[in-house]
Chains A and B, each alone.
Chain A
Amino acid sequence: MTGVDMLAVLISTTLILMMYTILYRENPAFRLGEHIMVGSTVGHAVVLAVFQVRDLAWKKVQSGLATGDIGGIAYVIPMILGILLYFQFSRKYRHISRISLALMLGVGIALSIRGLLFVNVIGQIKGACKPLTSIENVVYMVGVVCVLLYFVYERRASKVAGPLPKIGRYLLMLTMGSYFANSIMGRVSIVIGTLNNLLTVPAFYLIPVALLIVIADALTRRRKAAEP
């Protein structure tokens, strides 16, 4: 490990430990770590965004101007539309930014609608209609029907359906449970990933240092609280 690598590990470990101090209590070290994280993420995103504008638009405009290619010069239009978005910050001219927003929304919806229909409607209906050749498929089909019936709010239809909507409700609750359990598993995975970095040398040596600082703070606070 080179000196630079070691320094990087120590800095990242210090920041991780600063963030974890929130488990003890709200404190300036946590807030500093939080601000550093937000600042560095935004800084990195801004730099990448500038590069994107340069590579995807500015260079094409430049080459368009040099060669007289109208297609290249046309890239100036999205650049202007991008600038218009900043009128959002002006109370007087805010409406101008809506031109760009409307265009973005229109393009976004137009792009996604063709795929969404095929994937989320037609594909899902086709996927749900399985041949009832196995217990798994039967359970799947019954589940689909019950859950759909749960969302039928017409009283007479609900009466005909009998207990099926209730079964649908239980199936939905099972699904929510699965979401929640997966969420917990995900959070544990995050802690595992972080601790795996912390529990390697030289990062490991910073843990007792952090613990000592926390204990010292706890003792100081207790002493202060005991003072009249």
Chain B
Amino acid sequence: MSLVSYAIWHYGKALKTAWSLWGNFIAFVFNFFSIRLLLKTYFSKFGRLGEKYRGGLDLENLLSTFVINTLMRIVGVLVRTVVILTSLVAIILVVISGLILYVIWLALPLVVLITLVYGLTLLI
């Protein structure tokens, strides 16, 4: 009786839940790397560090502020690019492992049987 309800669940509700679980992990990667935020602030200064332009026509000052701010933007872009690329790798990993797990789940009874039999033959 319990085994029947398990089987119904395994090929019914569990498959549906798997999709939402997959979604959860992808959402987790998005949130962990804050991808949306990084894209939105892609060209901003790193950690909002930098200098403010003071008024007046002090050429030296203008130039140094410009250089510092540009530098911070470049650093920002670089760091963000690295993080975004890492997150892309993570998302690909989640997607692929999700697919693999999905297939394993579908064939689980068979997989268990095969690994058990093959494992035992290797041991004996």
A and B pair up: no
